[in-house]
Amino acid sequence: MGRRFTATLLSVCALALTAAGPAAAQRAQARKVDDAVEVFQALTSSRDRDVTRELMKTIYGLGIFPDVKKASFVIGGQRGTGVLMTRGSDGAWSLPLFLTMSGASIGWQAGIQSSDIVLFFRTRRSVESVLQGKYTLGVAASLAAGSVGREAGAVTDADMKAEIYSYARSRGIFAGVSLQGVSLEVDLDSSSDYYGREISKPDDVLGSDRLPVPPSAARLRAAVASGERSIE
């Protein structure tokens, strides 16, 4: 009797742990999406929101990476997770697809920095470059640091050729963040955790209308749509 009870208890515990793993991963990804909502709202409600006015009207894709960590002491690196959304032909935004951001740098700065990074993809080509595999910013598509304040006009200049513009809200001891040479890669595992089903390719998310819409994804879509309306 005692042995049977112990065996049953162990089985129940094992099943609970098995179920808790995916659930915990899903909650972690949902928090990341909610963080992306906060980052986007902070950018579009800032004093310099005119910076993003023209970009939001015309961009094809939007990448948001909350809390990207960068550490450096002679040789440094940075890594974070974020989401990518694309605009459909009807103007509606897709569900978020998870991406990882990583990179290395060599220098004499020392310290740790945490930054929230937003990428505006102006062309379909720039997004497709990311979706085809590990992609280094500034290689296949031109990259420019987004201007702020009095220089905001440079971003909306029709003669500008950059396909991707980047913005960062930095915290910590570094003055800023350079994204030249930073790599982006589709994170199918995190996407699968988030939606609770296997995601085998980016189009399973970006081109699908059959996936369940998690509450955090609905909030992100609403935030982006609201941001667009606020600049019309």
99 pairs with which residues across the strands?
82, 186
Domain boundaries, the chain: 22-229
pLDDT at 171: 54
Q: Report how far residue 57's alpha carbon sits from residue 52's, in angstroms, rounded to the nearest whole number.
A: 9
| pLDDT tens for each residue of the chain, 232 residues long | 555 544 544 454 444 434 446 788 889 999 999 999 999 988 877 655 555 666 788 899 999 999 887 655 545 566 789 999 999 988 899 999 999 998 765 454 555 567 889 999 999 999 999 999 889 988 878 887 766 544 444 444 444 578 898 888 875 322 334 587 889 999 999 999 999 999 999 999 999 888 999 999 999 999 998 877 765 5
- 179: tokens are 């994204």
What pLDDT score does 76 carry?
Answer: 55
- Least Cα distance to 124 among 190, 197, 58, 64 occurs for 58
Of the candidates 72, 65, 154, 146, the one whose C-alpha atom is nearest the C-alpha of residue 109 is 72
Q: How far apart are CA 222 and CA 216, in angstroms?
A: 10
| Residue 111: predicted pLDDT | 53
Q: How far apart are CA 170 and CA 181, in angstroms?
A: 18
User: What is the number of helices (H) and of strands (E) in the chain?
Assistant: 7, 6
> Would you state the pLDDT for residue 178?
57
